[in-house]
Chain A
Amino acid sequence: MPMGHTATAQAGSGGLTATEHRLANGLRVVLSEDHLTPVAAVCLWYDVGSRHEVKGRTGLAHLFEHLMFQGSAQVKGNGHFELVQGAGGSLNGTTSFERTNYFETMPAHELELALWLEADRMGSLLAALDDESMENQRDVVKNERRQRYDNVPYGTAFEKLTALAYPEGHPYHHTPIGSMADLDAATLEDARAFFRTYYAPNNAVLSVVGDIDPEQTLAWVEKYFGSIPGHDGKPAPRDGSLPETIGEQLREVVEEEVPARALMAAYRLPHDGTRACDAADLALTVLGGGESSRLYNRLVRRDRTAVAAGFGLLRLAGAPSLGWLDVKTSGDVEVPVIETAIDEELARFAEEGPTAEEMERAQAQLEREWLDRLGTVAGRADELCRYAVLFGDPQLALTAVQRVLEITAEEVQEVAKARLRPDNRAVLVYEPTAPEAPADQDENEEAAR
């Protein structure tokens, strides 16, 4: 039977608590009570993402995530969606480099249904998976790729930068959406093998958060998930370790039909879960995290050379994190002008570090973002799974904001000095080309000649 864990609020957790349990088949369970609203969130993280994919099968983890909504032994076709929505719930799944998550937020009295549904597909997906759903969802995912990446300006920038920042053969070299060729190549047998390998109770964490009775919830979890066999068939993920810095400036120039020049860059940063990663988060916030940031003030307000300028952090646990710079130029401004200004600002920051007021602002921003994340039962359930899967301890989710607030200005300066350097980045430059001439215009030109 599951082992309890006392629910005592830790300092800096905002009064939130969570208990941890483990079924005999290895499924880890995290419960957190909150009776303010009659809702309950169910979140299931499988420890598999695009980093587990092999050459020639990029996009398989995400395509597989779609197949998880195509029915299982006791759930017909789109029944998973129909039953949850018919119960007044909302649901979805997402795939990233490091994990695949599935979640339902339910009116509290419908919690048991969500647990039954998740257990049914965890234990019996292959009873329903067939060619028809495989072919259909392959087309859907290819259209997802077109809509979100291929048919929008700069849509493939992230994919290009990732491919630059992580070397060929590295598990993070490709993004979760995968390539069209690999999506075309995936077979039903690939999907089956993927399920058999990665979708096991001992490769997952289930969290349930909200207006729940923990004892009853745990009994339901045991009833529905307890008989699903665990197995040790999962191969160790490929090694994602890399040197702390890239050691040179990598660069790609893209000539494409985009509305304006752009300068983007990815900096190699410390792994998620470390103090240095939190320090990097603060550094990027001071430099490019809003309309009072150094880069915004310099490029958008003072030099007026950019229409938008900002930094983001992609936190990664199994490989170095990415600091993501995105600047779209104003009017006819050329990229070198922007690049020089950025290098000046980064060098100045590394030299002098953040001011006390900048630290206060950056910490206040990150604190509010955390309050937002933890302000919904679904957000809390997701964070509990994240810390359980990636760092082995869900309780860390409840104290994450405290850790950000404890970082010092010296630590922020240190990480900036070590990492935010030209020889630790992959740069992507967009140079616009003229639009392809419309066909009928060509005809007119022919006729005019």
Chain B
Amino acid sequence: MTELATMDFHPRPQSGDAKPWAFPAPERGTLDNGLTVLRCHRPGQQVVAVEVLLDAPLDAEPAGLDGVATIMARAFSEGTDKHSAEEFAAELERAGATLDAHADHPGVRLSLEVPASRLAKGLNLIADALRAPAFADSEVERLVNNRLDEIPHELANPSRRAAKELSKELFPSDARMSRPRQGTEETVAAIDSAAVRGFYEKHVRPATATAVVVGDLTGIDLDALLGDTLGAWTGSSAEPRPVPPVTADDTGRVVIVDRPGAVQTQLLIGRVGPDRHDRVWPAQVLGTYCLGGTLTSRLDRVLREEKGYTYGVRAFGQVLRSAPDGTGAAMLAISGSVDTPNTGPALEDLWTVLRTLAAGGLTDAERDVAVQNLVGVAPLKYETAAAVASTLADQVEQHLPDDYQATLYRQLAATGTVEATAAAVNAFPVDRLVTVLVGDAAQIKAPVEALCIGEVSVVAAE
């Protein structure tokens, strides 16, 4: 039953002439103290983004002190030689600034956002934090307790719980990547201010750090500003640090993290694959998008738009850690949540989508739409200073050239359907996927076993 509309219809309009746009090229330099600086002027962006990367990776954390990098990152904003913790927070907010800091496998990253009119104040504060952090006993103790309080909240969150289990499954138990980035209750409890200071002294210095500054820099003498702030930070010269290789066991199997009574099952299906240094990356980005980049991709076309099993399932590739010699790795994964009774049917459909892709490949139309989206959205995606700064910082952290993103767009446009298919099929081989399901084992175990997608085991949620 339909209804006749009463409006005048017109044919679908044609595109106008595209205006040129390119990913911005930063200007690279080095301060006298060895700090690498990338800067990029973005007219109209009144909130300036500053990212500082420290070569303090998680695998450098001392044994038994997982989480010390995280506590150090947080402690940067808890007082300096000029301000107490409360004063430091107040000064930041007085500048209209936000400062976030977090530790991940490649290193520690500080992200400052501040209105251009108060950039000097913001740079002063972040420079003080890096140059002379207080790391007061009492503040570190508070951060440790705070972190311990956070852990049960994370374990209760289905997607966080799934991520924790997948890391444990994929990586060898002696690899840092197998364990939670921010530590466990046992390791975090062992952290004190001496441990934080020890980690800082060993791994934080301007010679191995990079600052990225992006925004409307009209009328700002950035050299003078940097010289007075981050330029005043001193430290020893860089020492080369070996990067351990990433190994993972992607034998096809299923682990159910039991949450009795859960109304949905959180899925996280993953393995480890190449990072951006590999030539396959552009094709893998394209193929992964066709598989599960949006709600019109293959997975959601079935699981959401045909079956209604989910609010959305996504496939993605996320770099874990890169090395200059190209030995890095990325997590390749499919994630989403499906209602409990349909967990078996949803996984069956998901595997069918993967098998169909391997058997028949992508169509040229799928490839074309994906390229048009991935390349076409670039000017939208990089409208803000923060987005540009974040990508420039990722490139530095992953040992990629400053024009990597600009080059990637050209490579995507030149990637064909056959290459994209091959990359997607190699990225998600049906028998080499580790499936983590956070859900009600009593309801989902038997239907999942019946799918024969690997041995099924059940672990307790906590």
With most chain B CB atoms within 10 A of its CB, the pick from A331, A435, A436 is A435
Q: Which of B258, B296, B339 counts the most chain A CB atoms within 10 A?
A: B296
Indicate with 1 or 0, residue by residue over B373-402, a CB within 8 angstroms of chain A CB atoms: 101111110011000000000000000000
Determine whether A53 belongs to the interface, using a CB cutoff of 8 Å to chain B: no
| Residue interface bits A225-257, CB-to-B below 8 A is 1, else 0 | 011110000000000000000000000000000
CB of B263 within 8 A of CB of A150, answer yes
Whether A113 and B10, one on each chain, are in contact in the complex, defined by CB atoms closer than 8 angstroms, is no
Residues of A within 8 Å of B375, CB to CB, are: 88
Binds B, one of A1-9, A93-101, A372-380: A372-380
User: Are the CB atoms of A368 and B96 closer together than 8 Å?
Assistant: yes
Chain A residues within 8 Å of B115, by CB: 364, 367-368, 371
Interface string of B329-366 (1 = CB under 8 A from A): 00000000111000000000000000000000000000
Closest Cβ of chain B: how far from A372's Cβ, in Å?
Answer: 6
Instruction: Assess the A138–B153 pair: CB atoms within 8 A.
Output: no
Could you tell me if A127 and B94 are in contact, using CB atoms closer than 8 angstroms? no
For residue A139, CB closer than 8 A to chain B, the reply is: yes
Q: Which residue of B lies closest to A258 (CB)?
A: B156
- Please, how many angstroms separate the alpha-carbon atoms of A155 and B269 in the complex? 25
State whether the Cβ of B110 lies closer than 8 Å to any Cβ in chain A. Answer: no
Give, as a whole number of angstroms, the nearest-CB distance from A115 to chain B: 8
- Whether the pair B156, A153 counts as a contact (CB closer than 8 A) is yes
Q: Closest A residue to B372 by CB, please name it.
A: A86
Per-residue contact bits, chain A 91-123, to B (CB 8 Å; 1 contact, 0 not): 000000000000001111111110010011001
Q: How far is the CB of B405 from chain A (nearest CB, A)?
A: 16
**Is B97 interfacial (CB 8 A cutoff)?**
yes
> Taking the nearest CB of chain A, how far is it from the CB of B68, in angstroms?
20
- Chain A residues with CB below 8 A from B266, complex form: 151
Instruction: Choose one: A146, A153, A258; the contact of B337 (CB below 8 Å).
Output: A146
Which of the segments A34-42, A311-319, A338-346, A382-390 contacts the partner chain? A34-42
Interface residues of A in 28-59 (CB under 8 A from B): 34, 36-39
- Known A112-B16, A375-B46; contact A361-B93, beta-carbon cutoff 8 A: yes
Are A307's CB and B150's CB within 8 A?
yes
* Docked CA distance A147–B155 (Å): 16
Q: A229 to chain B: which residues have CB within 8 Å?
A: 6-7
Check A151 against B6 for contact (C-beta < 8 Å): no
B155, chain A: closest CB distance, angstroms: 7
Question: Is B86's beta carbon under 8 Å from chain A?
Answer: yes
Q: In the complex the two chains form, is B5's CB within 8 Å of A39's CB?
A: no
Q: Which of B259-296 contact A (CB under 8 A)?
A: 260-264, 266, 294-296
Complex interface: stretch among A77-85, A160-168, A274-282, A413-421: A77-85
- Within the complex, the shortest CB–CB distance from A367 to chain B, in Å, comes to 6
Q: Is the CB of A136 within 8 A of B10?
A: no
Are B296 and A81 touching (Cβ within 8 A)? yes
Q: Report B462 CB to chain A, min CB distance, Å.
A: 8
Compute how far the CA of A364 lies from the CA of B91 in the bound complex, rounded to whole angstroms: 11
Does A292 reach chain B (CB closer than 8 Å)? yes
Do residues A39 and B383 form an inter-chain contact, with CB atoms below 8 A? yes
A182 within 8 A of B: no
Neighbouring B residues of A38 by C-beta, 8 Å? 18-21, 379
B157 near A123 with CB under 8 A, answer no
Chain A residues with a Cβ closer than 8 Å to the other chain, count = 97
Tell me if B460 is interfacial: C-beta within 8 Å of chain A. Answer: yes
Chain B: residues with Cβ within 8 Å of the partner, total of: 91
Q: Does B305 contact A (CB under 8 A)?
A: yes
Please state if B12 and A78 are interface contacts (CB–CB under 8 Å).
Answer: no
Residues of B within 8 A of A365 (CB): 93, 96
B89 interface hit (Cβ, 8 Å): yes
Q: Which of A123, A143, A301 contacts B311 (CB 8 A)?
A: A143
- Could you tell me if B339 and A438 are in contact, using CB atoms closer than 8 angstroms? no
Is A402 in the interface zone, CB < 8 Å from B? no
Q: In the complex, what residues of B have CB within 8 A of residue A301's CB?
A: 85-86, 142
Q: A272-294, CB under 8 A of B: which get 1 and which 0?
A: 00000000000000000011100
Does A144 lie at the interface of the complex (its beta carbon under 8 Å from any beta carbon of B)? yes
CB distance from B148 to the nearest CB of A (A): 8
Q: A87 contacts the other chain (Cβ, under 8 Å)?
A: yes
Asked if A409 is an interface residue, CB under 8 A from chain B, the answer is: no
A36 close to B44 (CB less than 8 A):
yes
A436 CA to B440 CA, complexed, in Å? 11
A78 with B89: CB separation less than 8 A: no
A147, B383: Cβ atoms closer than 8 Å: no
Within the complex, the shortest CB–CB distance from A194 to chain B, in Å, comes to 13
Residues of B with C-beta under 8 A to A220: 13
Residues of B contacting A39 in the complex (Cβ-Cβ under 8 angstroms): 379-380, 383
CB A370 to nearest CB in B, in angstroms, measures: 10
Q: How far is the CA of A139 from the CA of B379 in the complex (A)?
A: 35
Does B461 reach chain A (CB closer than 8 Å)?
Answer: yes
9 A-B pairs with least C-beta separation? A88-B376, A139-B308, A364-B96, A124-B5, A123-B7, A109-B16, A259-B152, A307-B149, A38-B19
Pairs A–B under 8 Å by Cβ, sample size 27: A36-B44, A73-B5, A83-B12, A87-B372, A88-B377, A88-B378, A107-B380, A108-B16, A109-B17, A109-B18, A110-B376, A120-B9, A123-B5, A127-B3, A128-B2, A139-B308, A143-B309, A147-B310, A151-B263, A151-B337, A153-B156, A224-B10, A300-B146, A304-B142, A328-B153, A435-B462, A440-B442
